Structures are given as structure tokens and as C-alpha cells.
A and B are shown apart, each in its own frame.
Chain A
Amino acid sequence: MITLNVNQKSYKVDVDPNMPLLWVIRDVIGLTGTKYGCGVAQCGACVVHLDGEAVRSCVTKVSRAEGKKIVTIEGLSQHNDHPLQRAWQEIDVPQCGYCHSGQLMSAAVLLRENPNPTDKDIDAAMAGNICRCGTYLRIRKAIHLAAEMQRKGK
């Protein structure tokens, strides 16, 4: 049995300790907002926070997450109102939407570390997240907008 803390809730899971955290979150715990895209840390669709750091859950063994705080897209905010979520909605960023859980989780770490990122900072922080629909220009714009909301305390 492995005990996991996901979005401030405790779960006991009976799984192979080598199982990637991604599949435990999705198939065992049932939180499907975190996505499978590549399985080899290339696309970023599976990004979650582990003690505040963005990790690729598809290559993170579940045993590594034991005793740490895991936050998934479902736990990014209570009411879908994190500045990034609001900015994403304001700018209508997503198309198919599949990659955006990961995009938002990566962007959330960026914005916490760097409340006023430049285009270059955004590109550097977000280059690990693929969007096949090509919404990159809007992602950049929305991160700037979220940074502004955060600065103005909105």
C-alpha cells in the first residue's frame, strides 16, 4: 500500500511501486484531467506538481511521490479561478484542449517563480509542453495576462 496526498486528500493505493504516477492518478484514483501524451517526458501533457515542482508524471514512479504533496489540474484552484485559468478563459486559448492541463500546470510554476515573465522566459519555461493545435501565441498572451492579474491582485 502506498499513501498519496493528491489535492489535499489522502489516498491509499495498492499498486506496483514502479507504476508511473500518471496511471495511478488517472486509472486508480480516477482524476483524468492529467493526460497521457507520450510516456517519455517529451510533451508535458502529464505535468503535475510534486511539492510545488512541475514533474512529468508519466516518468515519475509512484513510489517517488509518497509523502509528497501532489497537485493535479483538478487541484490548481477550487473554482477554476487561478489567474491562469481565468486568463485562459478570457483569451479562449484552447482548441481541442487536450494539452492544456499540462500547459497550465507548467505555467503555474513559472508564474510563482517569476511573477513578471518576458516572452523569452515564457518560451524557456513552456518549451516542454507540446500543443498540437498550435495555440502557442495565445498561451504566451494568457500567461502575460495572468501575470498582470496577479500583480494587480485581481
Chain B
Amino acid sequence: MTPVSRRAFIRNTGGASIALWLGVSYDSYGGKTPDASLAKNFTPYILVESNGNITIYNTKPEMGQGTFQSIPALIAEEFEVSLDQVIIKQSNGEKELGNAQRAGGSSSIRNNYTDLRKIGASAREVFITAASTKWGVDVASCYAENGKVIHKQSNRKLAYADLLEEASKLELPKEPKLKDPKDFKILGKRIKRPDVALKTNGKAEFGIDAQVPGMLYASVERCPVIGGTLKSFDAGEALKIPGVEKVVETEKIMGRHHSVGVAVIANSYWTALQARKKLKIEWDTKGFETFNSVDFENRLRELAKEEGIIDKNTGAIETLNLPKENIVDAFYETPMAAHHTLEPMNCIAQVKGDQVEIWTSTQVPSSVTGNGANDLHKQIGFSPDNIKLHAKFIGGGLGRRLYIDFIIEAVNIAKQTDKPVKVIWSREDTTEFGPFRPMTFSQLKGGFSDDGKLVAFEHKVISPSYQESMRTDFDKTKVDKTMVEGIGEQAYEIPNIKTSFVRADFHIPVAAWRSVTSSTISFPHECFIDELAYKAKKDPMDFRMELLSKPSDTKRVLQKLREVSSWDKPLPKNKGRGVAQWEFFAGLCAQAVEVTYNEDRSIKVDKVYAVIDLGEVVSPDNVKNQVEGAIVMALGAAIKPGITFDKGVTMQHNFYDNPLIRINEVPEIEVHILAEGGKVKGVGEPGLPPFAPALANAIFAATGKRIRKMPFDIKSV
């Protein structure tokens, strides 16, 4: 991390009110005295005003993962204020709040756990010092509680708001003393989420809810053949519909994918949607109109024969010369998937001269207002200083809202009218145009020594490339690390391991989907471990534990799972139990799944036990909610149809042909949290990857049938 200094700044906010900003500067700075204006690269997290208001900024967009509570909680705990007494403000990509205003990769807590606590602790120490100076007493005789400093002996009290002048003269200590976890009042406790009440009465404002005076609405017709673009259009009939204001071209950019669609601008969304049906458009489908999933999947199976590019080769797998009977191999397949955020893509944009104002739900406020090479300003030709964002609650991110294609498209529409325009993607638009989670196919090979030890493990991934899709400068001679994600992070002690990657050319935009490639790649990897256990005639849990002789997080997690799932207790004959674990960039979770094999050959998923390893936990109940949700999402991806193409067109359109899990399909879920110190790990994604392999392994245990292809039908096994 860059050097961090902690500074306090005082600023007159007009009238009698003054405000003290406390935060960090990511540049080393030479200033000796606190500045009256906000310094460059200064990121304030706390604002204390003389009227008593205390504001904590949450710079991580809230999309259901709980940062609206957990980020302020880290600061509030050390600052000695309760969450009830602070105003939480969601940041809007403001330059002074830094360039890390983004939520993705389960990173918000794991990257900030200690730093945000230090900010809160520094601020607390400043106010304690300020009070002790004012009272002329020893600093050690004062402590802070509930937004006040208290002098122990005299029981005198001063609120933070009454100490602003004194506090502003102080530097924030660089290495403040953090609280002893046993004194925590917020962290690790059950604290009610402050955004929940807003979400039970319709008051939470999502991007799609934003309203700007004088706003028009737009709906965009895009080339149904993905990769195609506009040739020409006739808007005559559409323009005859009352309420239609204009029909314009608009370009959408996502990574290396560019396309032009036709936008109907009208006085209501409904009118725009009706008029859109009247457009006569000629598309340039560029040869992609013959593309179909069946042929492409056959191509992937062909490509599996290629050597591929080696990502990792430890040991000497080529020289082992194991006898044939000691080798197991298998081929696994997974599907493409849509994100299906329940809030469809949407964005309001207003262009006035060289200024653009945006209201939307995005996981990446910093990419909307930032000055980076791939940020919005580059794509729309505006100065980053002239882009203003209003970031709203997100009705589901799941990775989809890491991309700003829909914002670019909306701005390109707004450039052609002087009014603000709200662009809403229909559910069909949101389903059909991606970007999609790519499929991964896997060729696996395992080898045993003559004394039955697993000595070799090969995993070759055959797939489109995420990096190639989303970047313009991807080097095709290199491994796309995203596509082999997690494989190199498994703790299993196997002396010879080889990982390789075969890239398939693909014209369809592919993207991160909650838990990224781990959402598909854990399935072959952990099912194949089960196949190897079967070959070795060992219990799948025992087999894994034997590969984990050294202490590791994975070992601890599996030990805990063994205990809480009563793994060693036999199940009745028609039932089965499966296990899987997955460690990757986001974190680590292991799951045991219990299923019943019914007379009619259907499978009932009875119960899921999950153990998530966090190191430190901010909000245990929220962690449980996240893991429960990740399991439900993983269940859907395991058993419901994925995304396919024919004649270049997406074959799924809405929830009737691309269904999601409903309440009657959810198994019992029991989540256990390990927070035993060590590396702080993420929450949002790790619950997802272990589920599908644990389920398939349970089905094998119950039925003897090995599943090597996702999705699989559990109505008839």
C-alpha cells in the first residue's frame, strides 16, 4: 500500500457551523499545519460538525453485501460512536473521497479492516488529546465514549462537536492504539443494518428510482445478433406515436466490444417501449449470425486436445511415467450464465455543454468520475472534472455493475437532447446482451504412486478469455490468469501439479459473475478430487485431510466442517453427503451437502452446512445472510439452464426461459463462521464456489452417478 498519512482538516462551512474532516492522505505530504481546504489525495472518512452531526462516509457502494453498515462500523467502533448516532453517507465518486470507490472481489472488508479502524482510532485520540489540553489534565486520565470525551476523576464530559477548534490544531497520530477486541461494541456483534428500514417501505432509492425534473425516458433496440451493429434505420412509424420526442443512434462500449443501437426517446418509458417496436432497422451482423452454442462447445472439446499455455508446473509431471492403471482422467463442462440482477440496467444522464450529470446504480463510482485510462471520461469524451455522479443503492451487482457500458450508452443518448434522459433496459435487454459469465471446460488428470499416494494433478482449462474480452491490450500468448483463478491456491499437498489454459476465440462479451471463474472452475476441480478419493477407496473427507498434513486455513475449515456436519455419522441408504471447499482471491469456504435420492429418481437437497473462514468478522449475521444467498445463487447455476446462442442470438430472454431459484426450492442452510485471526478474508463471494461440487459429490454418494456437466437436472438423476 502507498504511504498513508492521517490528517485532520478544519473547514468553515458557513454561518456559525464549522466542520472537521478527518481522514487519510495517500501521498506523503510536507504540510506542517492542517489546511483549511481539502488537500490533494486526501480522503476524509469522518465529518464532525459543531451542530453535533457526525457523518461517516461509506465509499463502497451498497449492493446487498452490507458495506453500508460494515465500512462505517469499522470506523465507528474505534471512534467510540454508535451507528445510531452517525449519519452514513454513500459516496458519489467525489474526487476528494479517493479512487477506491468501488465494490467487487469481496474486497471491502478484507482490504480495509485495519486501515479503517486506524482512521477511527486516530480520530478518537485527537479528540481525547484536545479535551485533555482544554481541561489541562493528563491524556491518560481521559477516555472516549458515545461521541464524548470523559475525564475519569472529575467525570467532566465534552462532546466531540465542542472540541473542533482544539482538535483541528492537532495532527492525527499515525499509529494510534487500536481497541482490544474484547472491548468491541459493534464489531463481531449483531447490530441492525441501517439500510434495512429503508428497504421495507419503498424509501431506498435505487438507480431506476431516481427522478430528475424534466426527465425523458429512452429504450434502446440493439442488434439481436451479438457482435453486430447498426447499418441503417427508419424511425418514421415510431415518431408518429404521441409522446415520442426523438430517435437517435447510440454507441455502447464494453472492453473491446463496440456496437451501435437505436434509442427511442419519449415522454414515458412505456411510450418509448411501444415506439421501439415500430422501428425498422437493418443490422450489420458481420458473419456472427451463424454462431451457435452447440458448434462452439464442440470447438472447446476439440481445443481440449491442444497442449495449451502452462500456468503452473511444479514437480516433474512429464517424467513420472505412472502406469495406466494408476491414472484417472475426466472431462468437465460448465455453462454460460447471465447475472440477472433484479434491478435491470438503467441510467439517467444529462448533458449540458461540457458537463455531464449521471444518476445510476454502479459498483464503480470511481470509474465513472475517475481519470483512469479505462474510465468513463475516455469513452464519452468529457473531462473527468466535468462528470458528476449520483450513486444510488444497487438492486443487485453480482459483477454486472462493474461495467459501465450502460452508462456510456446513456450518455451518448443524452448528448443528443437538452433534457435529462432515463434509459431503462427491459428484462429481455438485461438478459440477452450480457456481458455473460463464460463457460469453462476442464480436462483433469490425476496420478497415484504404486503405494496409493496422489502424486500428480493436472487441470487444463479450455474457455474464452475474460481479459481478452474486457481489455483492448490483452496478450494472447499469455495465460489469462482470471480463467485459471484459484487452481494454484488450493492447499492440497500434491508433489506434481500442472495447470494450463487453452483460449478459445469468442466474440461475445464475457465478464465477472459473482465469484468470477471460481463459480465454474471449483466444480470440476473439487468433483475430480472426489473421483480420486473414490479411486483410492477412501472417504472423500479423509482423502482431503490426508492431502493436508501441514497446518493451513483449508485444513482448519474442513476440520470444523467435519464436526458441524456430523460427517462421520452414517446416513440412511437413500441419502448421500458430499463435501467441497474452495480457496481463491476472495476467501475460503467449505460446504457439506446432504441429499435424498427419491423413488422417482429425483434428488432433494436437504441441507447445506457451510464453514466460512474470515480471520476477522464485522457483522456475523450479515455474513450468514451472504453465505445463504451465495448458496441459493450457486444452486440456481448448478441446476437451472444457462445461456445459449443460436443464429448468433441469445436464446434466453426472461425468467420464464432462464429461471432462478424460488422460495420452495431452497434447502436448509447452516452457516458457521471462523474468525480466529490471521489473514482477513472476504464475505460476498466465497460461499458460492463450493456448493455445486459439494452437491454433485453428494449425488454421487447417494446414487453412484458421477455428474461432470453443469447444469444438471436434479428432477431425474
Contact = CB atoms under 8 A, between A and B. Distances in A.
B510 interface: no
Interface in B433-447: none
B629 A133 contact: yes
Contacts of A16: 270-271
Interface string A90-109: 00111111111100100000
A89 B631 CA distance: 22
A123 B202 contact: no
Nearest to B340: A132
User: Which of A92, A94, A135 counts the most B-chain CB atoms under 10 A from its CB?
Assistant: A92
A26 B346 CA distance: 15
A134 B634 CA distance: 10
A99 B424 CA distance: 17
A89 B270 contact: no
B340 to A, nearest CB: 6
Contacts of B32: none
A95 B563 CA distance: 29
Contact of B200 (A39, A100, A124, A129): A100
Given A42-B654, A89-B200, A100-B200, A127 B394 contact: no
A92 B189 CA distance: 14
A135 to B, nearest CB: 6
B628 A137 contact: yes
Contact of B268 (A28, A35, A88): A28
Range of interface residues on A (Cβ < 8 Å): 35 or more
Given A88-B196, A92-B622, A100-B200, A19 B270 contact: yes
B622 A98 contact: no
Contact of A134 (B195, B197, B209, B632): B632
Contacts of A139: 663
Contacts of B269: 23, 27
Contact of A37 (B197, B201, B342): B342
Most chain B CB within 10 A, of A73, A94, A134, A138, is at A134
A23 B219 CA distance: 14
B198 A97 contact: yes
A148 interface: no
Contacts of B625: 92, 95, 135, 138
Contacts of A32: 202, 205, 208-209, 211
B533 interface: no
B663 A73 contact: no
B201 A27 contact: no
A88 B199 CA distance: 9
A23 B630 CA distance: 32
B201 A73 contact: yes
A76 to B, nearest CB: 7
Contact of A96 (B64, B209, B631, B661): B64
Contacts of B197: 80, 89
B201 A95 contact: no
A134 B630 contact: yes
A97 B622 contact: no
A2 interface: no
A132 to B, nearest CB: 4
B384 interface: no
B200 A99 contact: no
Given A97-B195, A133-B396, A33 B201 contact: yes
Interface string A113-141: 00000000011101101111111111110
A93 B663 CA distance: 14
Interface in A18-35: 19-20, 23, 26-28, 30-35
Contacts of A36: 208, 344, 424
Interface string A71-94: 011101100100011001100111
Interface of A: 15-16, 19-20, 23, 26-28, 30-40, 42-43, 45, 72-74, 76-77, 80, 84-85, 88-89, 92-101, 104, 122-124, 126-127, 129-140
5 contacts: A23-B269, A40-B427, A95-B626, A96-B393, A132-B342
